[in-house]
Amino acid sequence: MRGEAFLKSLNDGRSVWLDGKKVERLPEHPAFQGTLQTIKTLFNMLDHPDTQEEVGYYVPETGRYAHASFLVPRSPEQLAKRSRAFARWSSETCGMMSRLSDYARSIVTGWYAAREELSGLDPEFARKITAYYEKARDRDLFLTTAIIDPQIDRSKNLDDARIAERFLHVVRETEDGIVLRGAKMIATGAPYTHDFVLFSFLKFKDEDRKHAHVLIVPACSQGLHIVCRESFAARQELNHPLSAKYDEMDAVLFFDDVLVPWERVLLYGDAQKVLALRGNRTVNSLAFHQNVVRFVAKLEFVAGVAFAVAEAIGASGFLHVQEKLGELLTQIDVIKALVIASETQARYDDAGVLVPDLNYIETARCIGTRFYPRAIEILQQVGAGGFVQVPSSVEDFYGPISELMHRYFEGATVSAEKKVQLYKLAWDLIGSPLGSRHQLYERFYAGDPVRGYANLYNSFPKEKLTEPIWSLLKETSKGGLTKIGQQRG
Ligand SMILES: Cc1cc2nc3c(=O)[nH]c(=O)nc-3n(C[C@H](O)[C@H](O)[C@H](O)COP(=O)(O)OP(=O)(O)OC[C@H]3O[C@@H](n4cnc5c(N)ncnc54)[C@H](O)[C@@H]3O)c2cc1C
């Protein structure tokens, strides 16, 4: 089974740091065990006859199933297959695990799908990405991205030596490859990824050639340190049902003279070419499509918890509670509608790839940054103080105060035990470290939302909306408005 193979493959000498220590035997470490068991189960879905068709597709060349994120969609059915696979993995994890590698895999799939177009940037690109894509697909490689440069002083750029030296850059070129030094933040899933997909989010200048690169770097590379944030993984699933299984770890990456073989250097040394690759519509549409499908599952989960809480305490009949629960439904429908629009308005690119509409996807990613904090706010308003009116452990139900526990924690429609369980689940969403991390994630995973919204405006063909206004005003200056007014009157 490929889930077991995945866990085994992680004992490869990688340098993962947590709580001041290097992590040994990562799959068994308490900070990762629960999450890795979840990933193992998801990977095994590809081997199971009942689920492999839903999350994967058959690859005739290898005679086995690969995850649908590797499928290049060339028909509406294939695009729908990708969508269904993203939705299935997301709903299996209540939308709480966003970087199950299907996003980063979709970037690689996009590069492969657009390889002919992108080989204009580098004649070796098509060959290198084909070889890597096939390897990643056939060996079920887990991938993640690290795109953002470290947050040191955002008012400065590479003209400042302190910044230039710390942002990831090439210190040496050798016959075998390039040698990298510097850092990257943040890479979710970093401790248990096979490879990192690396490039920068910044618009570099031509002279910044040492910082301009697009790379795929193995996590076990010599000199690469994966520095984890505090673990939010909980051991007791009954008390922390989400933290016990879905804490996907975020980490910073330190590159202490890491050699990256030329075969893994997709682009290097040309800021304009890196920018062109980053802006490729086929790649971005296929990858960001996953983000939005995944988000539907998370909104449905939050709404489900909020509905259950309202019912459990007899609050679902209050008008203002109904209004708020209705708002959660509008959130789900808005994002769902944008997913449907992106898929039904998909267009074939020159290589025959069916590319979802990026505008609808970007709208969903922007609006999602506001939807999620609001969804959590609604959940807080519905459950109110009840979230802290829970015992520290469900163990109290089995101890000397058991009878009192059953009496005083009782709900309107559910037993005391069920109600406490439900509130613990809700607390993991709104109040636990994992819950807080998710609010930060939804605000920022797609980049700075301020610049995200601004980009929507900046890239919009504004004349479409302004032309009718200028025409109307032209009419007005000829007395057109008075005419319109008379007609209406
Ligand atoms: C939980 C979590 C997981 C993540 N996982 C990943 C991952 O797996 N891979 C990955 O690549 N990234 C990941 N990210 C990083 C994410 O992409 C960034 O957080 C996001 O792009 C914002 O960048 P920043 O955090 O560096 O904020 P900054 O850019 O440092 O912004 C800080 C503040 O300064 C303002 N600001 C900064 N610069 C400007 C400017 N030029 N113009 C206007 N305002 C500015 C911002 O609006 C903001 O208010 C993750 C983030 C989070 C929170």
Nearest CA to ligand 1 atom 41: 154
- The reply to whether 157 and 107 lie within a common domain is yes
> Residue 151 Cα, ligand 1 centroid: separation in angstroms?
8
Question: What pLDDT is stored for residue 475 in this prediction?
Answer: 73
* Amino acid letter for position 74: R
Under DSSP, the state recorded for 386 is G
pLDDT digits (tens, 9 = 90+) for 429-475: 999 999 999 999 999 999 999 999 999 999 999 999 999 999 999 87
Q: How far is the CA of 444 from the centre of ligand 1 (A)?
A: 6
Residue of the CA atom closest to atom 20 of ligand 1: 447
pLDDT of residue 182: 98
The reply to whether 252 and 335 lie within a common domain is: no
Q: Does residue 177 sit in the same domain as residue 286?
A: no
* HEC letters along 393-432: CHHHHHCCCHHHHHHHCCCCCCCHHHHHHHHHHHHHHHCC
Q: Are 82 and 69 in contact (CB under 8 A)?
A: yes
Q: Helix 463-477 to helix 480-488 angle, to the nearest 10 degrees?
A: 90
252 C-beta closer than 6 A to ligand 1: no
Instruction: Examine residue 59 and state whether it is found in any structural domain, yes or no.
Output: yes
Encoded tokens for 227: 């520095």
**Same structural domain, 241 and 291:** no
How much is the pTM? 0.95
b/e 258-270 (16+ beta carbons within 10 angstroms → b): bbbeeebbbbbbb
The mean per-residue pLDDT over the stretch 96-115 comes to: 97
Is the shortest distance between the CB of 151 and ligand 1 below 6 Å?
yes
CA of 447 to the centre of ligand 1 (A): 5
Residue 371, domain member (yes or no)? yes
The answer on 345 and 260 residing in a single domain is no
Q: CATH no. for residue 74?
A: 2.40.110.10
Ligand 1 atom with least separation from CA of 190: 8
Of 219, 253, 278, the residue that ends a domain is 278
CA of 440 from ligand 1 middle (Å) equals 10
Q: Considering the domain boundaries, does residue 165 fall inside one? A: yes
Other Cβ atoms within 10 Å of 91 Cβ, number: 15
Q: Closest Cα to residue 442, out of 377, 391, 390, 367?
A: 367
150 lines ligand 1 (CB under 6 A): no
One domain for residues 224 and 112: yes
Is the pLDDT at 300 greater than 50? The verdict is: yes
Q: Is the dihedral of CA 217, 218, 219, 224 positive or negative?
A: negative
pLDDT in tens, 255-293: 999 999 999 999 999 999 999 999 999 999 999 999 999
For tokens 């439904």, the residue is: 329
Q: Is the CB of 445 within 6 Å of ligand 1?
A: yes
Q: Which of 444, 455, 458 to mutate to test the pocket of ligand 1 (most atoms within 8 A of CB)?
A: 444
Q: Is there a domain that residue 483 lies in? A: no
Q: How close is the Cα of 445 to the center of ligand 1, in Å?
A: 8
Mean pLDDT of 303-311: 98
Residue 166 CA to residue 210 CA, distance in Å, equals 12
Percentage of the chain modeled with pLDDT above 70: 97
State the distance from the centre of ligand 1 to the C-alpha of 297, rounded, in angstroms.
24
- Give the model's pLDDT for residue 483: 54
Which residue, by CA, sits nearest to atom 37 of ligand 1?
Answer: 154
Q: Which domain holds residue 451?
A: 281-459
Distance from residue 63's CA to the centre of ligand 1 (Å): 42
Query: What is the C-alpha to C-alpha distance for residues 265 and 261, in angstroms, rounded to an integer?
Result: 7
Cβ–Cβ under 8 Å, residues 233 and 247: yes
The per-residue pLDDT for range 212-259, each reduced to its tens digit, is 999 999 999 999 999 999 999 988 888 899 999 999 999 999 999 999
Indicate if the pLDDT at residue 478 is higher than 90. no
Checking if the pLDDT of 161 tops 70, the result is yes
**Tokens representing residue 352 in the block:** 């025959």
Clarify whether residues 107 and 141 are in a common domain.
yes
Residue 453, CB-side half-sphere exposure with 13 Å CA sphere: 8
State pLDDT tens for residues 340-393.
999 999 999 999 999 999 999 999 999 999 999 999 999 999 999 999 999 998
String of DSSP letters for 209-249: GGG-EEEEEETT-TTEEEEE------S-TTT-TTTTT--PP
Does 267 share its domain with 341? Answer: no
- Element containing residue 64 per DSSP (H, E): strand 64-67
Of 32, 100, 96, the C-alpha closest to 68 is 100
Q: How many domains does the chain have?
A: 2
pLDDT digits (tens, 9 = 90+) for 392-422: 988 899 999 999 999 999 999 999 999 999 9
Ligand 1: does its nearest atom lie under 6 Å from the Cβ of 303?
A: no
CA of residue 150 to ligand 1 center, whole Å: 9
Pocket test for ligand 1, best of 366, 448, 453 (most atoms within 8 A of CB): 448
Contacts (Cβ under 8 Å, ≥6 apart) of 457:
none
SS (H, E, C) 326-338: HHHHHHHHHHHHH
What's phi and psi for 150, nearest 5 deg?
-60, 145
352 and 446: one domain? yes
Structural domain contains residue 297: yes
* One domain for residues 375 and 241: no
Residue 479 has pLDDT above 90, yes or no: no
Q: Is the CB of 103 under 6 A from ligand 1?
A: no
Q: What is the DSSP string of 427-475?
A: HHHHTSHHHHHHHHHHHHTTS-HHHHHHHHHHHS-THHHHHHHHHHHHH
Q: For residues 253 and 184, is the Cβ–Cβ distance under 8 A? A: yes
Q: Are 146 and 185 in contact (CB under 8 A)?
A: yes
Is 60 exceeded by the pLDDT of residue 2? yes
Check pocket membership of 240 for ligand 1, CB cut-off 6 A. Answer: no
Neighbours of 372 (CB within 10 A): 21
Residue percentage of the chain with pLDDT more than 90: 93
Rounded to the nearest whole angstrom, what is the distance from the C-alpha of residue 195 to the centroid of ligand 1? 22
Q: Residue 203: pLDDT above 90?
A: no
Q: Tell which of 278, 310, 327 closes a domain.
A: 278
Domain boundary among 234, 253, 278: 278
What is the per-residue pLDDT for 489? 43
Instruction: Please state, in angstroms and rounded to a whole number, the distance separating the CA atoms of residues 232 and 243.
Output: 6
- Give me ligand 1 centre to Cα 376, in Å: 21
237 and 324, same structural domain?
no
Where does residue 257 fall: left (phi above 0), alpha (psi -120 to 50 degrees), or beta otherwise? Answer: left
197, 73: one domain:
yes
Give pLDDT, residue 481.
55
